[in-house]
Amino acid sequence: MSPTVKLLQGNEACVEGALAAGLRFFAGYPITPSTEIAEALSERLPRVGGRFIQMEDEIASMAAVIGASLTGAKAMTATSGPGFSLKQENLGFAMLTEVPCVVVNVMRGGPSTGLPTSPAQADVMQARWGTHGDHPVIALYPASVPEVYEVTIKAFNLAEKFRTPVILLMDEVIGHMRERIELPDTPPVPVVERQRPTVPKEDYLPYDNSQDVPPLASFGDGYRFHVTGLIHDQKGYPTSAPAKVEALLTRLQNKIQSNLDEILMWETIGMEDAEVAVFAYGATARSAVRAVRIAREQGIKVGLLRPITIWPFPDKLISQYTSQLKALIVAEMNLGQLVDEVERATKGQVPIKRVLQANGELIAPDTILRAVLEVK
């Protein structure tokens, strides 16, 4: 059958992607500019036998999502900056206890209540380090409505495969903008299901350190296992024995770091012969594409580096081009967050030009183009 063509908001495309990935539980709390996700799922989920609940706050939404996921349901919540701050507590719980879930943050300007209906890329560092303690994190960042659909499915796949929360960051303008999208009958990427234990129940180790990602049983299946936010041994029981603490925290890092090929996604444009590159993500990358195109028409050898996975940071996206570049422009809608990561990845080999803007408006193509002309 031919795909259904629709004109959808990013928030709606996120709902379509989540349902295509098998979402069956959503808990949320109203917050601009993400509310459409909750609204649509309150209508859609019960029709497919899933469950929606509006919780009393953002903390509770994150908690309910984890509880639901432990029964085997694919689970998601959606919020914006202030709510994302509140979710950090239980986001850390999900990371340590290795409970798959997807957390959408349709970003607005901050800090605090900030600019509720204006775009900003201000939470990229919070996505990395918002919750306390050493922890790995996966954060994805689509740049168009069709990409939101596909990346949402991938977010669920990564969450289930690596038993971890996955953060999906969206710009306010992507969340609310309408674009043409084709929705196929079957998902454009294969849907991943979580690995279940096959060992006898008495031998089950929910935190088995001999594998990157131990299988996860569901509550009610008879495994009778313990889940705690305390540092735990392989059985899931609390421990403070240094060797066991180290084994767990090391495995948590390794399960992400040793699978970067599967986790990292990016797009490049015109990098084959580029001497100047623009590094940009999300809505800013759309302005960068335009700036690159205009500069190319003027004969300037410029290209685009657009990460789709921003955490773990795609060092290789940068490092593979450092020898050919004489300048690198980093454009982001904040006062300088990912630019320091880019600088680290270049190991000082390429001068960096910062195009930073945090006034509630998109960075215009002209602004990026001027930077290109300055450094060419």
Partner 1 sequence: MLAEKYLRDAMMPHIWCPGCGHGIILQAVLRAIEKAGLDQDKTVIVSGIGCSSRASGYVNFDTLHTTHGRALAFATGVKLAKPELNVIVLTGDGDALAIGGNHFIHACRRNIDITTIVFNNSIYGMTSGQYSPMTPAGKFATTSPYGNIDRNFDVCELAKAAGATYVARSTAYHAASMPDLIVKAIKNKGFSVVEAISQCPTYYGRRNKMGSAVDMLNWQKENTVNVAAAARLQPEQLAGKIIIGELYNNPAPEFTQQYEELIARLQGGEE
Stretch of 49-57, 135-143, 279-287, 343-351 lying at the interface with partner 1 (CB under 8 A): 49-57
Does 47 participate in binding partner 1 (rule CB under 8 A)?
yes
State the Cα–Cα distance between residues 14 and 324, nearest whole angstrom: 37
3-class DSSP state of 238: strand
Stretch of 69-77, 106-114, 255-263, 279-287 lying at the interface with partner 1 (CB under 8 A): 69-77
State the Cα–Cα distance between residues 125 and 51, nearest whole angstrom: 31
Q: Which of 15, 20, 66, 274 binds partner 1 (CB under 8 A)?
A: 66
Does 65 participate in binding partner 1 (rule CB under 8 A)?
yes
3-class DSSP state of 317: helix
- CA-based angle 227:45:195, to the nearest 5? 40
Compare residues 75 and 338 and give the one whose CB is closer to partner 1: 75
CB of 204 to partner 1, least distance (A): 12
Does 67 participate in binding partner 1 (rule CB under 8 A)?
yes
Q: Which of 19, 64, 302, 372 binds partner 1 (CB under 8 A)?
A: 64
Does 15 participate in binding partner 1 (rule CB under 8 A)?
no
Query: What phi-psi label fits residue 212: left (phi over 0), alpha (psi between -120 and 50 degrees) or beta?
Result: alpha
Does 60 participate in binding partner 1 (rule CB under 8 A)?
yes
Does 18 participate in binding partner 1 (rule CB under 8 A)?
no
| Count of positions on this chain that bind partner 1 (CB under 8 A) | 45
Does 19 participate in binding partner 1 (rule CB under 8 A)?
no
State the Cα–Cα distance between residues 286 and 294, nearest whole angstrom: 13
Does 335 participate in binding partner 1 (rule CB under 8 A)?
no
* DSSP one-letter code for 199: S
Stretch of 55-63, 79-87, 253-261, 274-282 lying at the interface with partner 1 (CB under 8 A): 55-63
Helix 35-44 × helix 10-21 angle, to 10°: 40
Q: Which of 24, 163, 194, 244 binds partner 1 (CB under 8 A)?
A: 24
Alpha helices in 264-357 (DSSP H): 283-297, 315-319, 338-346
User: Among 92, 73, 108, 68, which Cα is nearest to 333's?
Assistant: 108
Does 49 participate in binding partner 1 (rule CB under 8 A)?
yes
Compare residues 170 and 227 and give the one whose CB is closer to partner 1: 227
Strands, E assignment, 132-220: 138-140, 165-171, 178-183
The alpha carbon of residue 34 and the mean position of all alpha carbons in its chain are separated, in whole angstroms, by 15
Q: Which of 57, 193, 246, 262 binds partner 1 (CB under 8 A)?
A: 57
The alpha carbon of residue 13 and the mean position of all alpha carbons in its chain are separated, in whole angstroms, by 15
Q: Which of 75, 289, 302, 345 binds partner 1 (CB under 8 A)?
A: 75
| Backbone φ, ψ for residue 43 (5° rounding) | -85, -40
| Interaction residues for partner 1, span 201-230 (CB under 8 A) | 218-230
* DSSP one-letter code for 180: E
Compare residues 61 and 309 and give the one whose CB is closer to partner 1: 61
- Positions touching partner 1 (CB under 8 A) are 24-25, 27, 46-47, 49, 51, 53, 55-57, 59-61, 63-73, 75, 89-90, 93, 218-230, 235, 237-238
